[in-house]
């Protein structure tokens, strides 16, 4: 009977090791057949029971049944292991399968540029200001020293709305008065935002565009402060400390004196297509805030003065990134936008 005992433990050990070694459901099935199947080793052993004495039957009957249970359990658990694997790996992995292209979202170029500009002005102590895109004549013109019959109003190609006294702002200078109403001087504001002009579009003009407006008001503000601010901002935006500025007289009703500020070309020093072979690029309108503008906003021009500057945000971005058509900005053209993802 010792013989039978040894056989039981040998079969158990062998079967368990073969179950473990089985790497596929097919090989597992052949292990099952060779031990637990109708002609399997265990079934064989069970059939020898009938030749035993009653006593031995009592001992080995239950022993063989328990062995069968253990092996069946071991088989089931290995089977579910292999099934799980085949669902997750090789069986479903087709190296030739077509994977649909997934597009990744990113910030729009507008958002990126406005964030760059805002962080430059924030680093200089400015607060970011906002104003409505639908404006009144007062904020867009009157408060900026542009009275009703002033020819400067015509040059703005205004989109008038059907409601009386409502228009789409033609520039972000309209935020100046909103800022002065909210904050007593000293104040330093930077207002980026969308503007509208009823113009024919081409590669450098659009009916909808974005401007940045800066306003600084304090006591004894000088032109030197304006120029230093402009140069620092442009150097940071274009990422080069070599950038110089040059100033030409300019006329804007809300500043006196008014200037146009050019920057030296960030890409060359001898002339290139970006600077149209002049080495200079026109970048900002600016000046010292006209006393009338301060006065109409309740600021005493004998106590305070300030500077203001404005620029086209698309224009700066077009120069920085070599963009050749302003209309691409709001075109939702994916290949264009992807370049800035
Ligand atoms: N608002 C002007 C425009 O749209 C730009 C500008 C010029 C803003 C001179 C200013 C300034 O603050 O001082 O063309």
Among 286, 287, 288, 305, the mutation site with the greatest number of ligand 1 atoms within 8 A of its Cβ is: 286
Look at residue 60 and tell me whether its pLDDT is greater than 70.
Answer: yes
Q: What is the CA(286)–ligand 1 centre distance, in A?
A: 6
Highest mean pLDDT among 6-10, 84-88, 253-257: 253-257
Check: pTM over 0.85? Answer yes or no: no
Average pLDDT of 187-206?
95
Look at residue 88 and tell me whether its pLDDT is greater than 70.
Answer: no
Mean pLDDT of the chain: 93
Number of CB atoms found within 10 A of residue 48's CB = 12
Instruction: Say how far apart CA 85 and CA 302 lie, in whole Å.
Output: 83
| Residue-wise pLDDT tens digits, 209-242 | 999 999 999 999 999 999 999 999 999 999 999 9
Coil, strand or helix at 212: strand
Q: Where are the domains of the chain?
A: 2-92, 109-338
Q: What local confidence, expressed as pLDDT, does residue 59 receive?
A: 87
The Cα-based distances of 108 to 85, 148, 330, 333, 334 in angstroms read: 43, 38, 10, 11, 11
Q: How confident is the model at residue 90 (pLDDT cuts 50, 70, 90)?
A: low
- The upper half-sphere exposure of residue 309, i.e. CA atoms within 13 Å in the direction of its Cβ, equals 24
Nearest residue to 190 (alpha-carbon basis) of 130, 110, 261, 232: 130
Q: What is the CA(230)–ligand 1 centre distance, in A?
A: 13
Q: Is 3.30.930.10 the CATH number for 109-338?
A: yes
Q: What local confidence, expressed as pLDDT, does residue 92 receive?
A: 67
For the CA atoms of 122, 124, 130, 135, the dihedral, rounded to the nearest 10 degrees, stands at -160
Instruction: Say how far apart CA 11 and CA 17 lie, in whole Å.
Output: 10
Euclidean distance between the first and the last CA atom of the chain, given in angstroms as a whole number: 79
Among 189, 309, 313, 314, the mutation site with the greatest number of ligand 1 atoms within 8 A of its Cβ is: 309
- Residues near 46 by Cβ (< 8 Å), separated by ≥ 6? 64, 68
Ligand 1, atom 12: nearest CA belongs to which residue?
Answer: 309
- Residues near 103 by Cβ (< 8 Å), separated by ≥ 6? 334
Q: What is the CA(101)–ligand 1 centre distance, in A?
A: 45
Q: Where are the beta strands (DSSP E) in 105-205?
A: 127-128, 134-135, 167-168, 187-196
Q: Which helix (H) or strand (E) holds 6?
A: helix 2-21
Nearest residue to 245 (alpha-carbon basis) of 305, 200, 309: 309
Determine phi and psi for 217, rounding to 5 degrees: -130, 130
Instruction: Say how far apart CA 80 and CA 263 lie, in whole Å.
Output: 72
| Residue-wise pLDDT tens digits, 146-174 | 988 887 787 779 999 999 999 999 999 99
Nearest residue to 6 (alpha-carbon basis) of 55, 60, 84: 60
Among 215, 225, 285, 293, the mutation site with the greatest number of ligand 1 atoms within 8 A of its Cβ is: 285
Q: How confident is the model at residue 100 (pLDDT cuts 50, 70, 90)?
A: confident
Average pLDDT of 39-68?
88
208-222 core/surface letters (b: 16 or more CB in 10 A; e: else): bbbbbbbbbbeeebe
> 176 near 254, Cβ under 8 Å?
yes
Average pLDDT of 48-54?
87
Ramachandran category for residue 58: left, alpha or beta (phi over 0 → left; psi -120 to 50 → alpha): alpha
Q: What angle do CA 214, 219, 225 make, to 5 degrees?
A: 50
Instruction: Say how far apart CA 104 and CA 120 lie, in whole Å.
Output: 28
User: Quick one: the chain helix, strand, coil %, rounded to 5?
Assistant: 45, 20, 35
């Amino acid at each position: 009977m010792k013989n039978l005992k040894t056989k039981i433990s040998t079969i158990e050990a062998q079967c368990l090791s073969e179950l473990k070694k089985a790497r596929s459901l097919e090989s597992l099935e052949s292990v099952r057949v060779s031990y637990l199947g109708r002609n399997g080793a265990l079934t064989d052993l069970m059939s020898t029971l009938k030749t035993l004495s009653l006593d031995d039957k009592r001992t080995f009957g239950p022993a063989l049944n328990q062995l069968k249970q253990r092996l069946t359990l071991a088989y089931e658990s290995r089977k579910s292991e292999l099934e799980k694997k085949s669902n997750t790996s090789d069986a479903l992995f087709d190296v030739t399968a077509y994977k649909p292209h997934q597009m990744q979202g990113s910030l729009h170029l507008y958002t990126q540029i406005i964030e760059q500009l805002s962080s430059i002005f924030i680093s200089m102590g400015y607060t970011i200001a906002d104003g409505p895109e639908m404006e009144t004549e007062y904020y867009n013109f009157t408060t900026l020293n542009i009275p009703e019959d002033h020819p400067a109003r015509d040059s703005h190609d205004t989109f008038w709305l059907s409601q009386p006294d409502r228009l789409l702002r033609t520039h972000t200078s309209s935020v100046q008065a909103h800022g002065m109403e909210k904050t007593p001087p000293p104040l330093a504001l930077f207002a980026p935002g969308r503007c509208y002009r009823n113009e024919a579009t081409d590669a450098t003009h659009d009916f909808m565009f974005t401007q940045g407006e800066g306003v600084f008001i304090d006591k004894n503000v000088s032109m030197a402060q304006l120029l230093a601010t402009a140069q620092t901002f442009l150097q940071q935006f274009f990422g080069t400390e070599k950038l110089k500025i040059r100033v030409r007289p300019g006329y804007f009703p809300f500043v006196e004196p008014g200037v146009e500020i050019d920057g030296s070309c960030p890409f060359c020093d001898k002339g290139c297509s970006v600077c149209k072979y002049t080495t200079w690029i026109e970048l900002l309108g600016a000046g010292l805030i006209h006393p009338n503008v301060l006065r109409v906003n309740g600021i005493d021009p004998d106590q305070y003065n300030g500077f203001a500057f404005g620029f086209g945000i698309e224009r700066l971005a077009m120069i920085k990134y070599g963009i050749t058509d302003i209309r691409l900005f709001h075109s939702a053209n994916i290949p264009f936008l992807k370049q800035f993802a």
